[in-house]
């Protein structure tokens, strides 16, 4: 990453331990933040402009297949193609849809709540169905790079989109740092077995990797449609320790100032109650 990621100043920030994922820049630290309503609306607007301008006829972006909206809980609706578009927009600010490792860290903090699903990447097992239309380009590029199948892309970071022969194509970005995020061969198989139920690991085609709305990690989605219960509600990035501390200090100040005000109000009420009880006692003594 060349520049520091854009930090949202009005939402919480969580530092990601190096044991989970190491920042690409040694001067930076990895972080995760909830998607603010402002950021969600900005990304949604730009994605809609891309779809309208470049992919108006692409079947996976039709409203009856690809639900997409925005609100207080981030970006609503989640699918492979849709998230590749969103990642392209977020990348301009140095932000990313969290990887599988980062989502599992959020899960450990109790922040990856259930009731909706989150996608985190894809598995490429072979140049076959399901989703062979995606495989053709991705497998060809993997072969050119000398990558052994299966492939696991545990985040959207290495993926880009272009208007090609099929009207919409997903491809691997020409970036050495991002290419290293792609797991292949035995390493990919070990990753899948460590993070997913082995019985669900696909033997052919392209499959989405996600945490479903019951909190179960799933591989093998045949459908590429998007539902209203899908969410992109967190983003990750890299920033200096000072920048992160500044945002955290602001967050903590607002939190504890609010709690202090509540306590002071309660103290005031208690003082009034004490005074009233004292006056009542003095009155009783004099009667």
pLDDT digits (tens, 9 = 90+) for 205-222: 889 999 999 999 988 766
pTM of the predicted model as reported, rounded to 2 decimal places: 0.87
- Mean pLDDT score of the chain: 89
Domain ranges of the chain: 14-241
Assess whether pLDDT exceeds 80 at residue 1: no
What is the CA angle 135-139-141, rounded to 5?
Answer: 125
For residue 274, which phi and psi values (nearest 5 degrees)? -60, -45
- How much is the average pLDDT of 22-49? 95
pLDDT in tens, 71-129: 888 999 999 999 999 999 999 999 999 999 999 999 999 999 888 999 989 999 888 88
Q: Where residue 281 falls among pLDDT bands split at 50, 70, 90?
A: low
Angstrom distances, CA of residue 66 to CA of 40, 81, 226: 17, 9, 5
pLDDT in tens, 156-215: 999 999 998 778 899 999 888 888 899 999 999 999 999 988 777 888 888 999 999 999
- How much is the average pLDDT of 54-83? 91
Angstrom distances, CA of residue 218 to CA of 44, 81, 135, 233, 255: 26, 18, 20, 19, 36
The answer to which of 5-9, 107-111, 262-266 has the lowest mean pLDDT is: 262-266
183: Cβ contacts below 8 Å, ≥ 6 apart: 151, 152, 153, 154, 191
Percent of the chain exceeding pLDDT 70 equals 98
């Amino acid at each position: 990453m060349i520049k520091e990621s854009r930090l949202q100043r009005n939402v919480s920030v969580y530092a990601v331990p190096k044991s989970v994922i190491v920042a690409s820049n040694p001067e930076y630290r990895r972080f995760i933040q909830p998607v603010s309503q402002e950021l969600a609306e900005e990304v949604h607007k730009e994605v809609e402009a891309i779809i309208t301008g470049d992919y108006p006829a692409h079947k996976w972006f039709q409203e009856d297949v690809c639900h997409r909206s925005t609100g207080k809980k981030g970006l609503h609706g989640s699918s492979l193609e849709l998230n590749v578009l969103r990642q392209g927009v977020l990348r301009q600010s140095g932000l990313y849809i969290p990887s599988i490792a980062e989502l599992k860290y959020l899960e450990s903090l109790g922040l990856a709540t259930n009731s909706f699903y989150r996608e985190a990447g894809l598995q490429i097992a072979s140049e076959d169905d399901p989703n062979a239309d995606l495989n053709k380009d991705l497998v060809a590029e993997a072969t050119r790079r000398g990558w052994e199948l299966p492939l696991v892309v545990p985040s959207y970071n290495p993926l880009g989109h272009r208007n090609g022969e099929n009207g919409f194509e997903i491809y691997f970005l020409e970036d050495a740092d991002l290419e290293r995020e792609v797991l292949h061969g035995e390493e990919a198989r070990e990753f899948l077995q460590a993070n997913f139920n082995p019985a669900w690991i696909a033997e052919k085609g392209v499959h989405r990797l996600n945490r479903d709305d019951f909190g179960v990690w799933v591989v093998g989605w045949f459908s590429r449609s998007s539902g209203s219960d899908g969410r992109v509600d967190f983003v990750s990035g890299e920033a200096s320790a000072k920048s992160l501390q500044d945002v955290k200090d602001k967050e903590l100040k607002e939190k504890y100032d609010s709690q202090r005000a509540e306590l002071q109000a309660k103290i005031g009420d208690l003082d009034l109650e004490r005074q009233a009880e004292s006056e009542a006692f003095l009155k009783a003594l004099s009667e």
